[in-house]
Homo-oligomer: A and B are copies of this chain.
Amino acid sequence: MTTFNSRHQQLQRRIDAAQGRIPCDLVLKNVRYLDVFSCVFREGDLSIIDGTIVGLEAGLKGVRELDLKGRHVVPGFIDAHVHVESSLMVPSHFESAVLRCGTTSAICDPHELANVQGASGIQYFLDAAERLTMDLHVMLSSCVPATHMETNGGGSITSEALVALSKHPRALGLAEMMNMPGVLHKDEDILAKLEAFGDRVIDGHCPLLKGQALSAYAAAGVSSCHESSELEEAREKLTKGISVWIREGSVAKDLDTLIPLLDLATSTTLGFCTDDRNPYDIAQEGHIDHLIRRAIRSGVAPEVAYRAASWSVARHYGLNRGSGLSRARVGAIAPGYGADLVVLDEVARTNIHAVLKAGRWSHELDRATLAVAGFTNSIRAASVEAHDLEGPTGQVHVIGAIEGKIITDRAVRGHQDVGVSRLSVLERYGRGSKPANGYVSGFGTLRGAIASSVGHDSHNLIVVGGNTEDMRVALAALTQSGGGFCVVGAGEVLELLPLPLGGLMSHQEPGELKQRIDLLKQASRSIGCELHEPFLQLAFLSLPVIPSLKLTDQGLVDVDQFKIIDVRAS
């Protein structure tokens, strides 16, 4: 790896290398590169020095030269919105998992760790970002806690705390403003945050918002949203100046619905994001490359899809500008831009041949330097007995989990009806609270329990089950392991994946994690679970900012009314 003595030397070397006065570090010969400015592929050689592109035409010499034999090369993909925590991986392993999928930059919101640890959870990602090879940009979590209807460990992160964090070179703006009602009703602390970040980028989060309310939300300064699940909803957002990030997470999958919006005209306004994507899906299907592949298969022109995946998002967040030494310009293949490149074997299938980040091959990166000290978690939940997990009986409000959606249905049913499971959320930050108990449908008829310490956004312990005893065993196992995922059947722990970092992340390698999740899924199916992603769906059942009925440690939340209601139906 080249040592950069100074910006001054870098600039001199770029100018010299571009004119052939000194050899480049690397020349990729005979490529078809994407010109994002005109949205066409062009033939040429890509010459690179000190991690920066300095030439597009044949003629320059390189210390290393590689004939790519006409392969297509596109700019590194940018994940417009991701919670790294949802990969269950520490940042260094996340990087290792997604770089090989072509994701060279990501805009992350450390909202999960912030809810568990407070501002130090955000600082953890800022510190990590400085040690990674990929560009990890940190949006500062705007809504910790997400609502007043749940208990978190991080307390309340104030506007002042966010402003202090915003000085960090990896801090990009204000993360998803989930408190839509707070904006629309002009809550003082929400307005203080919007004002403080008036000259930075403010990400949105406004599922199903439309009409005058959407206009008010946009007028408050929000400029993106990754929560559109309907085509007309997304179209209205685009028109109102809210860039739409098409999401394909492990649970929320919006690509098929929204892809008709992506064409040449919108290819500099739309982008792709994963939001919450688990290690199994990353390993199995890929990351942003998976979304591009799906988009092209849906009929989007490849150059349009690749432009949306890079240039569009880079421009939105100003990543095409760079910031002196601390950040290269990215999002395009042109002189002066960082050599973030994805070499493709097949352009229409997004078959990745190799990935270059800042001029370095992803497969040659030195993993040893990437460790970041993390939080040792202690789950401090109260000990519970089986009878503590008994909910109200009779006619009850039942949360309806929907396969592949984080939005829920709602219904009033008998608590013992077929397909109705028990659901409990247990505060885990040492307050000593008793669990909140309710009901959910959609998991199938469970013979056992599934529990997790990943429960958006406060990450209390959440457990679904067919009987309270298996649920009790599952909660006890998680408390003992310092958090994680577990499946219990007939009083026995069938599978357990510990997530010791904040109860959210593991130090395990991506490959190991994928295997463990596979085993967890098999165990879930063995006790009757019908959902494809039980842990991810479970994690969203406690998230009271997504419609329409959720359970937090404080009780059943009617998101439409934004208040806690009785589980018993009146």
Which residue numbers of A lie inside 8 Å of B, CB to CB? 7-8, 11-12, 14-20, 35, 37-40, 42, 52-57, 59-60, 183-184, 186, 191, 194-195, 198-199, 201, 211-216, 218-223, 235, 238-241, 243, 264-266, 268-269, 315, 318, 321-325, 332, 334-337
Contact = CB atoms under 8 A, between A and B. Distances in A.
Given A201-B321, A266-B38, A15 B54 contact: no
A240 to B, nearest CB: 5
Contacts of A268: 268
B38 A216 contact: no
Given A14-B219, A198-B323, A39 B265 contact: yes
B264 A215 contact: no
Nearest to A201: B321
Given A12-B186, A15-B219, 7 more contacts: A11-B191, A18-B216, A56-B215, A199-B321, A219-B336, A241-B335, A241-B336
A186 to B, nearest CB: 5
28 contacts: A7-B198, A11-B194, A15-B183, A15-B184, A15-B216, A17-B219, A18-B213, A18-B215, A18-B216, A18-B219, A19-B184, A19-B213, A19-B216, A37-B241, A38-B265, A39-B266, A52-B219, A53-B219, A54-B215, A55-B215, A57-B215, A198-B322, A198-B323, A201-B321, A214-B335, A216-B335, A220-B336, A239-B334
A341 to B, nearest CB: 14
A215 B336 CA distance: 8
Contacts of A55: 212, 215
A127 to B, nearest CB: 22
Given A15-B183, A15-B216, A219-B18, A38 B239 contact: yes
Contacts of A59: 212
Contacts of A323: 198-199
A42 B235 CA distance: 12
A49 to B, nearest CB: 9
Contacts of A7: 195, 198
A238 B332 CA distance: 11
B15 A238 contact: no
B38 A238 contact: yes
A315 B55 CA distance: 25
Q: Name A's interface SS.
A: mixed
Contacts of A39: 265-266
Contacts of A38: 235, 238-239, 265-266, 269
A241 B241 CA distance: 25
Contacts of A199: 321-324
A290 to B, nearest CB: 25
B11 A212 contact: no
A212 B37 contact: no
Nearest to A192: B8
A195 B10 CA distance: 10
Given A195-B8, A212-B20, A334-B239, A186 B15 contact: yes
A7 to B, nearest CB: 5
A329 B336 CA distance: 28
A269 B220 contact: no
A495 to B, nearest CB: 46
A52 B215 CA distance: 12
Contacts of A20: 212
A239 B37 contact: yes
Given A38-B238, A199-B323, A238-B38, A11 B265 contact: no
Contacts of A265: 38-40, 264
Contacts of A221: 11, 336
Which of A37, A42, A221, A315 is the most central at the interface, judged by chain B CB atoms within 10 Å of its CB? A37
Contacts of A219: 14-15, 17-18, 52-54, 335-336
A305 to B, nearest CB: 14
Contacts of A40: 265
Contact of A334 (B8, B54, B241, B336): B241
A74 to B, nearest CB: 15
A222 B53 CA distance: 14
A192 to B, nearest CB: 8
Given A35-B239, A239-B37, A335 B15 contact: no
